[in-house]
Amino acid sequence: MGVGSFFTSKLDEAIGWARKYSIFQYPFVTACCGMEYMATACSHYDVDRFGAGLPRFSPRQADVLFVVGTISHKMAPVLKRIYDQMTEPKWVVAFGVCTCTGGFYDNYATVQGIDTIIPVDVYIPGCPPRPESVLDGLMKLQDKIATQVQRY
């Protein structure tokens, strides 16, 4: 009985390690935070070394949804549909203060945090967040992915 649990735990670690370094992100960019998001992919910061350098522009091929910028109530159903089209396992990153809390847009048209629409795994605050903060958030997401119980 000890051998089977040993094999299963090592398999969980191997799958977690593989998922940690093969992040296929779907960027949902709506506002000014998009410039900082693009800067993170440039050669100075090089998000590619974290295994997240190849964005996918189809939700069916992505496993991490990067929501970047202000989300209005008119865009909320589109965001929800994109999230629903992603395959399991999937994770969500809220990028920027407007995505996390609505920012300084305290009005009827802006969603006050996307966690009211979809579940969020990592919050990256800032207006706009620095690329270093984005990489820190990405590393926190990788830790969460690696330690998550794998379903296979």
What would the mean pLDDT of 53-70 be, rounded to a whole number?
86
Sign of CA dihedral 53, 59, 62, 65: positive
Condensed to tens digits (0 to 9), the pLDDT of residues 74-124 reads: 999 999 999 999 988 899 999 999 899 888 888 889 999 899 999 999 999
Measure Cα distances from 109 to 2, 44, 71, 97, 115 in Å: 57, 36, 9, 16, 16
DSSP summary character for residue 106: -
Average pLDDT, the chain: 84
Domain residues of the chain, as ranges?
Answer: 2-147
- Check: CB of residue 92 under 8 Å from CB of residue 28: no
Tell me what pLDDT residue 4 has.
55
What would the mean pLDDT of 115-135 be, rounded to a whole number?
91
Tell me what pLDDT residue 82 has.
94
2-147 topology per CATH: Rossmann fold (3.40.50)
Tell me what pLDDT residue 122 has.
94
More confident residue, 27 or 45: 27
